[in-house]
Structures are given as structure tokens and as C-alpha cells.
Amino acid sequence: MTGAGPAGESTRALPAVLFVVEEVLVPEFSRERWQWAWRPQGPPIPERSYRAAVRRAEHRWDRRRWEALLGGEAREEALGHRAFLRDTLREIAGYPMPESEADLFVDRFLKCPLPRPPHPEVPALLAELRRRGGTIGALGRFAGPGGSEALARAGIRPAIDVVAGSDPGGASMPAREAFRAAAREMGRRPKEITFVGTLFWSEVRAAHRAGLDSLRLARGEADPRGGTARLGRLPDLLERRVGPATASDPEPAPPS
């Protein structure tokens, strides 16, 4: 859809945007969740050491997923996720916790009853994207209903046009088919979608490999590879990428 603009021009609607549910829209690794799982009655986990521990564990997990993808290694993603959570817990705890002990805390983490609201800037961002005519999609890190359920619990599911990857038998990121299937669900070609993730290799790089334009969301850290975005600036960034449209430009096809 195009709208009226200055000097006889019109403005293009923003392109379709595909967000990763976890960490981009809804916090997955909040300090409160780890506190409840590990030391609900203990001293507070220090904010600075918690963030550094999660970042180190995420970077290792990101590279392992990417290397497994390139090596053609078949991996049960749920098991890989549990291993990542154990790794994160050991980083937070600061000692080589035995696997059996760590598994008990991981189970508590996964069953944590604490509310998981969206990141503070997300509701306003989704409303602004909607106002500017963008199509909004979301994709969970693992195939199945978990992504949609997280959005519903956070109260933002109605703001999302398409939640892709809800079939438990489908492909999960970082497989190329996971991104291409999401594009089909959104009724767009991969190159018509801007993907936003937090992990460089297994999300942003993998989405680019599947043909999507991709951006890495940076929250409070610099990315030496570039291609970073702050959520609040995303609508303007997308608008600059699209550029102005003239009255002769064809209308884009709506999602099916």
C-alpha cells in the first residue's frame, strides 16, 4: 500500500518484518527467572555478572548451532537448548556444577511461573510499525507452539500478523527451511522480509543465508560486525531502506 507524500510522491508501506520471539520481543533469560530457578531465597544475583555470564553462554551456543548447521549435524534442538541453559547456569553460579544438579535448576527455570511481559519498548514499536503499514511476523527459536504461547502470555499476540513455525514437526532455526517457511506463511518472498534477531550466527547470519534481509538487535553492546539496530529506531531504518515511492509504482501483494 502507498500513501500520499510531498511533491506528488507517495510513501511506500514498510516491508514485512520477522522478529525472533525470544529475547527480541519477550525476555527469555531475565535475572528474575534465573533467581527463582537457582536461589529463590538466596542473595540476589548481581546484575553485572549475570549479564556477562548470559552473554558468554549465548555466544558459545550461537557458534555451536551455526557450526552444527554447516556440518550437517542432526541435533535435537530441545536437548541443545537444555545444554545451553546448563552452561548459562554454570556461568552465573561461577563453579563447575554437576550436570545432575544443573538439570534440577534448568527444570525449575523452564517451569518458572513468573510473568514474562514484553521488553518495555516493544508495544510502542509494534504500534508504530502497524501505523506505518508494515506486516509483522514472529518466529520462535524452536518449532512448535512455544513462540505463540510466549506472545500470548506477554499480551502482544494480537499485535502480530503471523506467528510462524508453530508446527512441532517443522524446521527450527538456524535451518534455512525455517526462515523460508516463515516467509511463505507471511505471504512474502524471503528478500521482501527484514529479519531481526539477537544471535549473530544462528539467527542473523542464518536468515541472510536463507535470502532474508537481516539485522542484529543490539541492547547495550557494540557489534563489531555491524548491521546492528535499536528497536526504537527500527521503523525509521526500514523506511530509509525502502525509500520514497512514485505514483507509478505497483501496489505490493497483500499476505495470503
pLDDT digits (tens, 9 = 90+) for 135-182: 999 999 999 999 999 999 999 999 999 999 999 889 999 999 999 999
Among 110, 140, 163, the domain boundary falls at 110
Among residues 96, 116, 100, the alpha carbon closest in space to that of 29 is found at 116
Centre a 10 Å sphere on the Cβ of residue 246 and count the other Cβ atoms it contains: 11
Q: CA-to-CA distance for 177 and 21, rounded, in angstroms?
A: 18
Coil/strand/helix, residue 179: helix
Band (184; pLDDT cuts 50, 70, 90)? very high
Q: Which of 72, 95, 110 is the last residue of a domain?
A: 110
The torsion angle over the Cα atoms of residues 105, 107, 113 and 114, rounded to 10 degrees, is 40
Q: Which residues 6+ apart lie within 8 Å of 105 measured at CB?
A: 37, 38, 89
Domain that holds residue 68: 31-110
pLDDT of residue 181: 97
Q: What is the largest CA-CA distance in the chain?
A: 68
Domain co-membership, 179 together with 88: no
Residue 3 has pLDDT above 50, yes or no: no
Instruction: Please give the pLDDT value at position 127.
Output: 94
Q: Specify the number of domains making up the chain.
A: 2
